[in-house]
Amino acid sequence: MPPEPQTANPILSESQIADLKLAASKMSGSTRRAFQADMSRKYCAGNARQTERCFGWGREGVQLGLEEQRNGMVCVGAQAAYCGQKRWEETQPEAAAALLALAEAHSQQDPTFRSSIAYTRLTAAEAIRQLQAMGFSGGQVPAPSTMARILNRNGYRLRKVEKAKPQKKIPETDAIFANIQANDGQFADGAVKRLSMDCKATVNIGDYSRGGKTRGDNKAADHEMGCKEKYIPFGVLDEDSGQVYLTFGSSSKTSDFIVDSLCRVWEQMPSADKDACQCIQIKADNGPESSGIRTQFLKRMVEFANHTGKTVHLLYYPPYHSKYNPIERCWGILEQHWNGTQLKDAETLLEWAKTMTWKGINPMVEFSRKVYEKGVTLSKKAMEAVEARLERNAALPKWDILIRPVFG
pLDDT tens-digit profile, the chain (408 residues)? 445 545 567 788 888 998 999 999 998 888 899 999 999 999 999 999 999 999 999 999 999 999 998 888 888 766 666 666 788 888 888 998 888 887 776 665 555 555 544 445 577 888 888 888 888 887 889 898 998 888 888 877 765 544 445 557 888 998 999 999 888 855 556 789 999 999 988 888 876 666 655 445 555 555 555 667 889 999 999 998 999 999 999 998 999 999 999 999 999 999 999 999 999 999 998 888 999 999 999 999 999 999 999 999 999 999 888 888 889 888 888 888 887 677 878 888 898 899 998 888 999 999 999 999 999 999 999 999 999 999 999 999 999 999 999 976
With a CB cutoff of 8 Å and minimum separation 6, the contacts of 214 are 22, 340, 341
* pLDDT reported for residue 215: 46
Helices (H), 253-374: 255-268, 271-276, 295-308, 327-338, 346-355
Backbone angles phi, psi at 71, to 5 degrees: -90, -15
* pLDDT reported for residue 238: 94
Strand 230-238 to strand 203-204: parallel, antiparallel, or no bridges (unpaired)? antiparallel
* pLDDT reported for residue 189: 66
Q: Which pTM value belongs to this model?
A: 0.62
* pLDDT reported for residue 297: 96
What is the phi-psi region of residue 190: left when phi exceeds 0, alpha when psi lies from -120 to 50, beta otherwise?
left
Q: Are 355 and 362 in contact (CB under 8 A)?
A: yes
Backbone angles phi, psi at 123, to 5 degrees: -85, 165
* Per-position DSSP letters for 342-397, written without gaps between them: ---SHHHHHHHHHH--BTTBPPEEEEE-----SS----HHHHHHHHTTEEE-SS-T
Residue 345 CA to chain centroid, in angstroms? 21
**Three-state DSSP state, 249:** strand
User: What residue ranges do the domains of the chain occupy?
Assistant: 14-79, 88-154, 172-209+227-403
* pLDDT reported for residue 314: 96
What proportions of the chain, in percent to the nearest 5, are helix, strand and coil? 45, 15, 40
Q: Does domain 172-209+227-403 have CATH number 3.40.190.10?
A: no
